[in-house]
Amino acid sequence: MEKADNPSDLSKGVTKKFFIKTWGCQMNVYDSTRMHDVLESNGYMRTDQIEEADLVLLNTCHIREKAAEKVYSSLGRIRKLKRNRADSNRPLTIGVTGCVAQAEGKEIIRRESAVDLVVGPQNYHCLPDIVERSRKHGPQIDTEYSVEEKFERLPLLASHNQFKRRSITAFLTVQEGCDKFCTFCVVPYTRGPEFSRPRNQILEEASALVDVGVKEITLLGQNVNAWHGKDANGGEIGLGGLLNELAMIKGIRRLRYVTSHPLDMDKSLINAHRDLESLMPYLHLPIQSGSNRILKAMNRKHTVQDYLSIVDQLRIARPDLVLSSDFIVGFPGETDRDFQDTLEIVQQICYSQAFSFKYSRRPGTPGSDMENQVDEGVKSERLERLQSLLKKQQLSFNTDCIGKVIDILLEKSGRDANQLIGKSPWLQSVIVDSKIGSIGDLISVKVTGATLNSLHAELS
Residue with the bigger pLDDT between 388 and 2: it is 388
Assign residue 36 a region: left if phi > 0, alpha if psi is -120 to 50, beta otherwise?
alpha
**Closest of 114, 108, 127, 119 to residue 42, by C-alpha:** 127
Choice among 6-20, 96-110, 222-236, 436-450 with the minimum mean pLDDT: 6-20
Q: What is the mean pLDDT of residues 82-89?
A: 86
The answer to whether the CB of 320 falls within 8 A of the CB of 424 is no
Residue 210 CA, chain-centre distance (Å), reads 20
Cα(230)–Cα(242) distance, integer angstroms: 9
pLDDT(418) > 90: yes
The answer to whether the CB of 422 falls within 8 A of the CB of 407 is no
Question: Can you give the pLDDT at residue 146?
Answer: 59
Give me the domains of the chain, ranges plus CATH numbers: 8-145 (3.40.50.12160), 149-280 (3.30.750.210), 405-459 (2.40.50.140)
- Return phi, psi of residue 142, to 5°: -135, 95
Residue with the bigger pLDDT between 437 and 24: it is 437
- pLDDT-based confidence at 159, cuts 50/70/90? very low
pLDDT digits (tens, 9 = 90+) for 431-446: 999 999 999 999 999 9
Residue with the bigger pLDDT between 62 and 448: it is 448
Which of 131-145, 154-168, 227-241 is modeled with the greatest confidence? 227-241
Burial class (CB in 10 A: 0-12, 13-18, 19+), 81: middle
What per-residue string of b and e applies to 388-425 under the rule 16 or more CB within 10 Å gives b? ebbeebbeebbeebeeeebbbbbbeebeeeeebbbbbb
Burial class (CB in 10 A: 0-12, 13-18, 19+), 317: middle
Question: Can you give the pLDDT at residue 306?
Answer: 98
The answer to whether the CB of 230 falls within 8 A of the CB of 35 is no
**Closest of 225, 300, 229 to residue 259, by C-alpha:** 225
- pLDDT-based confidence at 166, cuts 50/70/90? low
Question: Can you give the pLDDT at residue 37?
Answer: 81
Non-local (6+) Cβ contacts of 205 within 8 A are 156, 172
Question: Can you give the pLDDT at residue 392?
Answer: 98
Cα(112)–Cα(105) distance, integer angstroms: 12
pLDDT(154) > 60: no
- pLDDT-based confidence at 31, cuts 50/70/90? confident
- pLDDT-based confidence at 386, cuts 50/70/90? very high
Quickly count: other Cβ atoms within 10 Å of residue 299's Cβ.
14
pLDDT(153) > 70: no
Non-local (6+) Cβ contacts of 413 within 8 A are 419, 420, 421, 434, 439
Question: Can you give the pLDDT at residue 331?
Answer: 98
Question: Can you give the pLDDT at residue 156?
Answer: 47
- pLDDT-based confidence at 8, cuts 50/70/90? very low
DSSP labels for 150-177?
TTTTSPPPS-GGGGTT--SEEEEE-EE-
N-to-C CA span, the chain: 60
- pLDDT-based confidence at 27, cuts 50/70/90? confident
Q: What is the mean pLDDT of residues 381-403?
A: 98
pLDDT(5) > 80: no
pLDDT digits (tens, 9 = 90+) for 304-337: 999 999 999 999 999 999 999 999 999 999 999 9
Q: What is the mean pLDDT of residues 168-192?
A: 90
Average pLDDT, the chain: 89
Question: Can you give the pLDDT at residue 164?
Answer: 52
Choice among 4-13, 108-117, 216-225, 236-245 with the minimum mean pLDDT: 4-13
Cα(390)–Cα(198) distance, integer angstroms: 38
Question: Can you give the pLDDT at residue 62?
Answer: 75
Cα(244)–Cα(231) distance, integer angstroms: 11
Q: pTM of the full predicted structure? A: 0.82
- pLDDT-based confidence at 67, cuts 50/70/90? low
Residue with the bigger pLDDT between 329 and 85: it is 329
Which of 23-27, 42-46, 65-69, 85-89 is modeled with the greatest confidence? 42-46
The answer to whether the CB of 301 falls within 8 A of the CB of 307 is no
Question: Can you give the pLDDT at residue 151?
Answer: 59
Burial class (CB in 10 A: 0-12, 13-18, 19+), 174: buried
Cα(14)–Cα(33) distance, integer angstroms: 23
The answer to whether the CB of 353 falls within 8 A of the CB of 324 is yes
